[in-house]
Amino acid sequence: MKIVIKGLVIIAFLAAGMSLFSSGQYDMDPNERIFDVGDFHSISNSIPADLVIRLNESRRVEARGDKGQLDQLKVYVRNGELIIRRKIRFFSLKRLRGVQFTISMPGSEIRSLNLSSSGNAEVLGDLKALKTQLRTSSSGSIKAQGDVEYLQITSSSSGDISYSGVNREMNIWLSASGEADVDVRAMKVEASISSSGNIYITGEAVETELRLSSGGEFIGPGFITENADITISSSANAELTILKKLEASLSSGGNLYYRGNPVMESIRTSSSGEIIKKD
């Protein structure tokens, strides 16, 4: 009889373990959870959690928080994208504040990092990819660095992205008070800002193309470009150093402050738009 009971206990224990394993998650302690999700090259987080992304050759996804918080997490991979969200749509996002994720993955494979709902992410290590997108909204923030051939930065609704590195091409799209703080060495920098977005930039580029409107600010007293093509309107402003050639169109109170002695080509100003040389 004792042998039968012991056998049943062992079977029940194994069944419970298999259930946790098959669900794609298991516990190290009640406040920590590891998710077995398979391979991924992108990350999308839609909860107010903090992400630390460690760039190495392994893959691992773990979270820390109260057990009640961890029970409400849904973490899975779809089409190569690691998705982090709440299980129940009507579960309050505020109750998930304080959850911390540690994610390990190769830096050469990150194609996109997308944050919303006040999520934050810090990338530890250098990105080394052909093409990567960093995107944040709803007051989320991203900190990253590395060498990416083609980098796209998108920030809106008070989102904030900080990046430093070497790129062939960097595209920055900001709106609705989005911010970007970048230090870059690039062949080309392209930026579009509207609705009070701000770019703080240092470094250098061969070609720079700016489209600024609605109070957008391109703040680059420490940024140098050889050639610039700039359109500014609706009280937007830009400041940078231009060495060789400038093409510009300014209107409706848009201002360009520049250093250097570029050749002026296709210069158009109207409705209080000004081009001002600084010493």
pLDDT, tens only, 88-97: 876 677 788 8
pLDDT at 241 over 50: yes
For the cut 60, the answer to whether the pLDDT of residue 17 exceeds it is: no
Query: Is residue 138 assigned to a domain?
Result: yes
Q: Are 170 and 182 spatial neighbours (Cβ–Cβ below 8 Å)?
A: yes
d(CA 148, CA 242): 24
Does residue 11 fall inside a structural domain?
A: no
Mean pLDDT for the stretch of residues 6-30: 51
In a domain, residue 5? The reply is no
CATH number of the domain to which 132 belongs? 2.160.20.120
**Considering the domain boundaries, does residue 164 fall inside one?**
yes
> 6-41 burial string, b = 16+ CB within 10 Å, else e?
eeeeeeeeeeeeeeeeeebbeeeeeebbbbebeebb
Domain endpoint, select from 125, 143, 172: 125
Q: Is residue 133 part of a domain?
A: yes
Among 125, 156, 175, give the residue marking a domain's end.
125
Which of 125, 153, 181 is the endpoint of a domain?
125
Question: Is residue 277 a part of any domain in this protein?
Answer: yes
Q: 134 and 118 in one domain?
A: no
Q: Does the pLDDT of residue 51 top 90, yes or no? A: yes
Q: Which tokens is 56 given?
A: 């190495």
Q: What is the dihedral of CA 180, 182, 188, 191, to 10 degrees?
A: 20
Domain that holds residue 43: 26-125
Residues 183-206: tens digit of each pLDDT: 999 999 999 998 889 999 999 999
Q: What is the pTM of this model?
A: 0.87
pLDDT at 37 over 80: yes
Structurally, how many domains does the chain consist of? 2
Residues 130 and 119 in one domain: no
Residue 139 pLDDT > 60, yes or no? Answer: yes
pLDDT at 22: 41
Q: What is the mean pLDDT of residues 139-164?
A: 95
Q: What is the DSSP letter of 260?
A: S
Average pLDDT over residues 23-48: 85
Q: Name beta bridge partners: 246.
A: 228, 264
> Does the pLDDT of residue 242 top 70, yes or no?
yes
Res 25: pLDDT: 55
How high is the mean pLDDT of the chain? 90
What's the pLDDT at 9?
44
How many CB atoms lie under 10 A from the CB of residue 264?
Answer: 12
Residues 197 and 214 in one domain: yes
pLDDT digits (tens, 9 = 90+) for 73-106: 999 999 999 999 998 876 677 788 899 999 999 9
68 in the same domain as 120: yes
| Distance, CA of 10 to CA of 152 (rounded, Å) | 53
The reply to whether 103 and 197 lie within a common domain is no
Residues 6+ apart with CB under 8 A from 96: 47, 48, 49, 65, 69, 72, 73, 86
Q: What is the mean pLDDT of residues 16-42?
A: 72
Q: Let me know if residue 188 belongs to a domain.
A: yes
C-alpha torsion sign, points 223, 143, 54, 80: negative
Whether 6 has a pLDDT exceeding 70, the answer reads no
Phi-psi group of 3: left, alpha or beta (phi > 0 → left; psi -120 to 50 → alpha; rest → beta): alpha
> What is the SS3 assignment for 252?
coil
